[in-house]
Structure formats: structure tokens, C-alpha cells
Homo-oligomer: A and B are copies of this chain.
Amino acid sequence: MTAFSAPEKTSQPLPPSDSRQRVSQFLKSLQDSICEGLEALDGGSRFQEDTWERAEGGGGRSRVLREGNVLEQGGVNFSEVWGQDLPPSILVQRPEAAGHSFYATGTSLVLHPRNPYVPTVHLNYRYFEAGPVWWFGGGIDLTPYYPFEEDAAHFHRTLKQTCDRHHPEYYPTFKLWCDEYFYLKHRQETRGVGGIFFDYQDAQGILYPIAYPGSQSGTPAAEHSQRVGAIADRTWEDLFAFVQDCGQAFLPAYTPIVERRRGMEYGDRQRHFQLYRRGRYVEFNLVYDRGTIFGLQTNGRTESILMSLPPLVRWEYNYQPEPGTPEAVLYEKFLKPQDWANWQP
């Protein structure tokens, strides 16, 4: 594999004329199918929906399920917004978009289960158009509290199979990108066992620059970032098909893990640790997450943006897990990047 070299700056092909409708239609149906699947899985509560409009253009449907059998809280959002200017944090990465109006649509979810043996999961897929540029982004990642190797392996293998149907470099590349993106530098921890993450994917073939936009230098994944350069010959249709496939992989990636763990007994100790670890989720989303920052910068609907925050959280000054405990195993093994897809018992 050759080292990455910046692709030639040629104008990329225009998307199909019905690109916005097709993507938003898919993302809405993804929200529907995921909510249906989660209600069937939970068996207790149902999603409540709020639709909302954004003064500057667009709106969304926010759905939240509370106090379910499995989910203490789960939020699944769809949004479609447009306006005059992308925020500076995005224009730095896509200067060609400056001075053009933008269109953005996305579906995202965060699930906070009650049982500490069931991991938290996050998904977000999104699509942007602004003047001469368009791109897809998104990903999915898993955050266990009391982790199981076979769960991490199942999650990653499902994602790898999905990616491999589209390009052999997708999974290894987007897995590394996920490890780096969901890295809490101030804690020197990954958020969980990762998954896949990508941004700014378009027909120019920008896959994973060595210093990708927003890269946090010094994180573990950055050391491995020579893996891949650019893939040319990708069309808008190729990328849309890939993102659709990723979205549809959510239920098969997550629900078998829930089924395996939902009945496990737990006590105050496990609950206490789960609430503490949820604090990391808050720290990541408010300090680093670009979806959250984009939402707050573009005057998005605050309640929908912050629906990802857990229903109950603890902070504890100077907490350290005791060596030899299950809590220590999380830190020692699962909060560092691992090759889960190739895990063997």
C-alpha cells in the first residue's frame, strides 16, 4: 500500500438531481425500521415522537423511548436542515463550500440500557451538499460497561461483513478512524470498543488522509494511520449504497448482544459503575463530538441534540478501578484499540 497522497483537486461529479429526496427518504425509513426493531426488542415502552421545525430552514422528528424493559432511555433522531452558511468548523475542511447555501440530513441514535451488562450504542449517518461539494459521513460504535469479548467481536464482524461488500479497505480504515475519533484525549481512553467512523466521503476518493480532518494528534490510532490512501472511481451511487447497507446493519450488529445480556443479574456495584462510566459519554459528546457541535453552532433543536446524554450520571473525583476486578478489565483491555474482528476465544 502506498502512502496517502492528496487527490487532485478536480471538480467532483454532481449528485443525481433527486439526491436530497433519496437520502432523506432512506434516513427516515432507517429511523422507522430501527424504532420498530427496538420496540420489539424492548417489549416494554414505545417511542414518543416530537416533530419540530427550524426557523432558518428544515426540521426533524425526534423519538424517545423511556423506562423500557431494556432501555432506560433511547433516542432516535431524524433531521433535515438547510441554510445560508455552514459553520466555520466544517468550512475549514470543505473551503469549496464557502459562500454557498448548504443542505444536511442525518439519522442518529444513542441507547442507554438500564442493565450494566448491556452496552450503550451510538449510530449516526449523514449527508451534506453545499455548492460544488457533497459528502457522506457517519458511523456506529459500542460502549460496554461490563464487557464481553464475544460481544465486541460480533459487533465488529457484522460491520466488517457490511464494509467488505463495498470495498476491502473500508473496514480496516473506518475502524481505525473510529478508534481515533472516539478517543478521549484528556482521559487517554477510547470511548468503548469502537466500530466504524468516516467523514467527508465523496467521489474524489478522500478516504482517510494521514492527518484526517479533525485528527487528534497523539491518539493511539494515529500511529497506524498509514494504512490507506485514497480510493478513486467511487460514484455517488456507490457511497449511498454503502451508507444504506451500514444503516441496515445496525439491528443485526446490536440486538443479539442485548438478547444475550438483558437477563443478567446485577446489583448496586454494577449500577454504580455504569453511572460513573456514563460520565465519559457526556464528556465526549460535549467536548469533542462534531454532531453535537454542528447542532449547537447551527441553532439546532437543543433537546434533540442533547437527547444523547444519559438519564442519570455520576462523577467521582479520582476514581480508579481496583486491580483484578471486572471494572479494571474494562480499562485494561476494552478501552484501548483492539482487533476485535479477528478475536478468537
Chain A residues engaging chain B, CB cutoff 8 angstroms: 50, 62, 64, 66, 73, 75, 186-187, 275, 279, 282-283, 286-287, 296, 302-303, 305-307, 309-318
Contacts and interface: CB of A to CB of B under 8 A. Distances in A.
Most buried by B among A50, A64, A73, A316: A316
B306 A318 contact: no
A50 to B, nearest CB: 7
B75 A317 contact: yes
A310 B315 contact: yes
A64 B75 CA distance: 35
A135 to B, nearest CB: 26
B317 A187 contact: no
B64 A317 contact: yes
Given A312-B312, A316-B311, A302 B187 contact: yes
Contact of A309 (B75, B275, B315): B315
Contacts of A73: 317
Contact of A286 (B75, B283, B314, B318): B283
A291 to B, nearest CB: 14
A62 B312 CA distance: 26
Given A283-B286, A286-B287, A317-B64, A186 B296 contact: yes
Given A186-B302, A286-B282, A317 B307 contact: yes
A303 B283 CA distance: 12
A310 B50 CA distance: 30
A7 B303 CA distance: 42
Contacts of A312: 275, 312-314
A120 to B, nearest CB: 14
A44 B61 CA distance: 49
Given A186-B296, A302-B186, A318 B282 contact: no
A309 B279 contact: yes
A286 B187 CA distance: 14
20 contacts: A62-B317, A64-B317, A64-B318, A186-B302, A282-B282, A282-B313, A283-B286, A283-B306, A286-B286, A287-B287, A287-B296, A303-B317, A303-B318, A306-B315, A309-B315, A310-B315, A311-B315, A312-B312, A313-B313, A313-B315
A237 B309 CA distance: 46
Contacts of A296: 186, 287
Of the listed residues A66, A279, A313, the one surrounded by the most CB atoms of chain B closer than 10 A to its CB is A313
Nearest to A112: B315
A311 B296 CA distance: 26
Contacts of A309: 279, 315
Nearest to A315: B309
Nearest to A296: B186
A296 B305 CA distance: 23
Nearest to A293: B287
A105 to B, nearest CB: 21
Contacts of A307: 317
Most buried by B among A50, A62, A66, A283: A283
A240 to B, nearest CB: 31
Contacts of A315: 306, 309-311, 313
